[in-house]
Structures are given as C-alpha cells and as structure tokens.
Structure 1
Amino acid sequence: MTSHSLLHTSLPSRINRTVWCCNKNSSYTSSRVEMEKADSFVVDDQELLDKKISSIRNAGPAKLQVIADFDATLTRYWINGRRGQSSHGLLQQGNPEFDVKRHKLHEYYHPLEFSPTISIEEKTKLMEEWWEKSHGLLIEGGLIYSAIKESVSNATIAFREGVVELFEYLEERDVPVLIFSAGLADIIEEVLKQKLHRSFKNVRIVSNRMVFDNDGHLVSFKGKTIHVLNKNEHALDMAAPIHDQSGGIDGPTDDTASVEQRTNVLLLGDHIGDLGMSDGLNYENRIAVGFLNDNIEKSISGYQKSFDIVYLNDASMLGVVDLVSQLCSSGGD
C-alpha cells in the first residue's frame, strides 16, 4: 500500500493545477489548493492504476462515462462537526406521525442491512420490504412537492469541494455522469438546484422517482424500486435527466445506447457495495475511487483492496478533478 498527501505526486499528469476547472476564466484560489493538499489517500497497486489511466486516456473522452453514488460520495460526510443528512433522511413530509413511522422503520431495518449473519438473499428481501413500506408511508401521509423544497432548504447537506468543477469539466467534454442512488431522485434534483444553483446537461439520475398529481400530491413511484442492494446498471432504464416539477427537461432523453457504448468507467462511491453500480455494463477499463469517511482503521484494508484509489477522512473532490483531467488529456498535452 502506498500513501500520499497529493494524488498529483503519484499519478502521471501534465495538467497545471490552476486550470483544473473547465471554466477558462477561473482558477483555483490558494485556499482551495491548500484544502486539496490536506486530502490523503491510498493506492494499493500503483502500476495497475497507471495502466488503467493510460488505456482510458488513449481511448479518449468519447469512450468515458462517470458513475457516482450520491450520499457521502458527492456530498460531504461531516458538515460543521455534524453528520450530514442523506437524501432520504432529510425528508420531512409535514406529517409528524408519518415522519415518526419512517424513523421507526429505519431503526428496525438499518441494523439488518449491515448484519454479518444475514445472507445477501435475505437482506435483499428485507431491503425491498423497507423501501416499499417507507414509500407507502410517504404516499399515505400525504407528501406534497413543496415539502421536498422546504426539507432541502432546512437540511444539513452540502457537496464536497470540487464537485462543481468536476461536473463542469465533464460537461464541456460531453462525458455523461450517472448518479446512482437508493434515495429519492426528486430530492437529489432539489439538492442540486438549491446547493449548486444550476443544472448540467450531461448529468442523469438513477434513483426512485416520485409521481405527483396536478395539485402536487404524491400518488405513486415510477418503475421498480431501487434499494441499497440492487443499485447497478441493470437499472439504467430508470435513468432520467434532471427535470423540473412542470416536466421541463435539461439534456437529452434517449442516450442510453450511447452510454452503454462508453466502455471506460470512472466509478465514485463511499461503500464497497457501490462497486456493483457498474455490474450491468460491459466495460473494458474501470477506475474505482472510494471515499472512506469514517472508521478508517477498521475499514481501510477492505477498501484499499476493493478500490483503485481510496480518499480518507471526508476528502474533497479536487483529486478526482485532477484524475479526470488526466483521463481526458491527449498524449501530447
């Protein structure tokens, strides 16, 4: 295992840090550079990683796609000393009785998700029960769309430093980003709108999507349920570009075939189970980047063997921006 304070020191790169952001009129401030320097990471097999970087770079951006988990991957794990909320956990549906019922479901099922004595098959059934019951309570409790906006506004949730730069860089190069989440697509969209204040034409969301009536009341969920144990590319038919409540859509809606033809994958996740997000894709090269946010000593061994790069202690996304700039550069850059 090798450990470094800067990804730039170990990976081949000809990219000047001051031009990582795709916005040609902007540059990183010294405070951002200092934050990036504080990001520590581990690489288990540097030689293998270098080979993957070279192969993906030689194929070019047209063959690359990014698959990212949302909670605690794109978003920060800690915020001002407090545990950041998840896209599912932040929702307050405006009916205290049903908020309590959903919390009780969490108390019952969450320990089962991580139980070492329950088989994957049984866990899958339990997770399906949990998600279906939780979704049923949201409908029964009369969730309205305005409650989502208010919940996000009041939530303890924020993106990692560098996420905007990453999305901008990929958007400029027409590299698609698939956000896979077992949470709620409508909440993820609202978090993107409120926290980033813009949309990205290359970003699509694979998550549980709500269906509202004309009065803004939740009436059902669209498609099959996505939970923590079935979150993979088999659910690609659930992918949708960011859209607004009135039905307006940003970006293309029929590019599933194009995504499937992109056989080089950069995968971002905070859980070893996130590696399954690419299971349904016939990829040639995959670089898996893990974010190990807590319990470092207990988990580092498993993470370093599973991911190509592991960022530690709720790191920023700036090292990934550096990596992507290398993947998208030509040999002569």
Structure 2
Amino acid sequence: LKDLCNFYYPLEIDPHRTIEEKYPLMVEWDGFENFFGTLYQNEIPLFIFSAGIGDILEEIIRQAGVYHPNIKVVSNYMDFDDQGILTNFKGKLIHTYNKNNSVLMDAEYFQQMSHRSNIILLGDTLGDLTMAEGVTKLDNILRIGYLNDKVEELMEQFLQSYDIVLVRDETLDVANGILNCITAKN
C-alpha cells in the first residue's frame, strides 16, 4: 500500500501532466465508484472538502463518470485571465487546518442539507476533524481516519480523535461496508 501511495500521490500533484494524462492513472483507487454510486442512488449528499485544487478534483470525478448532482466540492479553484494564464486562486485559501465553516461560502447548499443530522467524516489528517464544525443539527458523526504517513508518531492522536483508524489503507472498503449496511433494504 505504501508503494501505491508513493506511486499515485506524485502523479496527482504533478503540474506537468494534463488531466487527461492523470485520469487513467488515478481511477484505479479501490472502491470509489461503489462509494459515489451508493451515495447517489440513495440520495445521500457527498460533500468533498479539499485543500487541493478543486478544478482538477472535479474534472477527475467527471471523467470517472461519478460526478452526480448530490456532490458538492469545496476546494481551491483557479482563476485564469483571458489568455488562459493562471492569475490567482478564487476566495479564501483552504488548507488542512481551516477545513470548517469559516471558508464555506454556499450557505444555500447547507440550508438545503439542514435536515441531515448524520455524518460520516473521512479524513487523513488531524486537521480534517474540524470539517463538520458549524453543522447545526448533528445527531451522529462517525469519524474514519486514514493514517498513511508518520504512523508511529501519529497513531495515539488518531486513536484518540477518530472512531475508526485505518493504517495505510488506500481503499474505501470500510466506508463502503458501512454505507452498504446503512442503505440495505430490510
């Protein structure tokens, strides 16, 4: 699994590769099609809060054929001039430690979701734990932590902070298993 991470992450952030070059390499992550599909079929919103580049993230999801109307991405979006040159990033820069309601700008989307009171939070840093801050009607939250780097150094903090800690797991198998149990018809 460490080899997978070492292989895929540099591809994901490589500024010299186009989205078309990255897409076939990135869609090999286990379980994403099932995860996105189950959420869509059951009309469960998928909120993606990313400190990465939203333009690239959205395009990869589109090209994978899983960008559905239930998806909302909040991330860093590029701003281009008339010649197509990147001039800036739009809005407040999102980083690992401000993934919370301080950077959320689409109040209408969250008002539409106000009847939702259960969250499955997937994160791979301790900063991701704040992503549900500001949710007004929260009954249940299940925090699943993906601990992929500095395992020995961060293990105790992850175990104290997340409900489930997955070590060097680059799949959505656990999240899919939980979703399948939640959405199973009697």
Are residue 275 (structure 1) and residue 143 (structure 2) matched? no
Distance (whole Å) between structure 2 residues aligned to residue 225 and residue 281 of structure 1: 21
Q: Trace 1:251-330 onto structure 2 (pairs within 5 A).
A: 254-282=108-136, 283-329=138-184
- Listed as ranges, the gaps of 5+ residues in structure 1 are 1-75, 93-146, 240-253
1:216 corresponds to which residue? Answer: 84
Q: Deviation at 1:234?
A: 3.1
CA separation of 1:86 and 1:260: change in aligned 2, threshold 3 A = farther
Q: Deviation at 1:238?
A: 5.3
Larger radius of gyration: 1
Q: Is the CA contact (8 Å cut-off) linking 2:148 and 2:168 kept in structure 1? A: yes
For residues 171-211 of structure 1, give each alpha carbon's deviation from its aligned partner in whole angstroms, at most 9, with x where no partner exists: 011111111111111111122234x2442221111111122
CA separation of 1:83 and 1:215: change in aligned 2, threshold 3 A = closer
Q: Deviation at 1:157?
A: 4.2
CA separation of 1:80 and 1:220: change in aligned 2, threshold 3 A = closer
Q: Number of residue pairs matched? A: 185
Are residue 82 (structure 1) and residue 7 (structure 2) matched? yes
- Listed as ranges, the gaps of 5+ residues in structure 2 are none
Distance (whole Å) between structure 2 residues aligned to residue 273 and residue 86 of structure 1: 24
Q: Is the CA contact (8 Å cut-off) linking 1:270 and 1:292 kept in structure 2? A: yes
Distance (whole Å) between structure 1 residues aligned to residue 45 and residue 105 of structure 2: 15
Distance (whole Å) between structure 1 residues aligned to residue 84 and residue 154 of structure 2: 43
TM score, norm. by length of structure 2: 0.83
CA separation of 1:80 and 1:300: change in aligned 2, threshold 3 A = closer
CA separation of 1:158 and 1:329: change in aligned 2, threshold 3 A = closer
Q: Deviation at 1:169?
A: 0.4
Residue type matched to 1:171 in 2? Answer: Y
CA separation of 1:80 and 1:182: change in aligned 2, threshold 3 A = closer
* 2:15 maps to which of 82, 91, 97: 91
Q: Deviation at 1:237?
A: 1.5
Q: Is the CA contact (8 Å cut-off) linking 2:33 and 2:66 kept in structure 1? A: no
Residue type matched to 2:33 in 1? Answer: V
1:152 corresponds to which residue? Answer: 22
Q: CA RMSD in A?
A: 2.8
Which of 224-233 and 156-165 deviates more?
156-165
% identical equivalent positions: 31
CA separation of 1:159 and 1:226: change in aligned 2, threshold 3 A = farther
* Higher RCO, 1 vs 2 (CA within 8 Å, ≥6 residues apart): 1
Distance (whole Å) between structure 2 residues aligned to residue 148 and residue 292 of structure 1: 29
Q: Trace 1:161-240 onto structure 2 (pairs within 5 A).
A: 161-194=30-63, 196-237=64-105
Q: Deviation at 1:159?
A: 5.4
Distance (whole Å) between structure 1 residues aligned to residue 44 and residue 57 of structure 2: 20
Residue type matched to 1:202 in 2? Answer: N
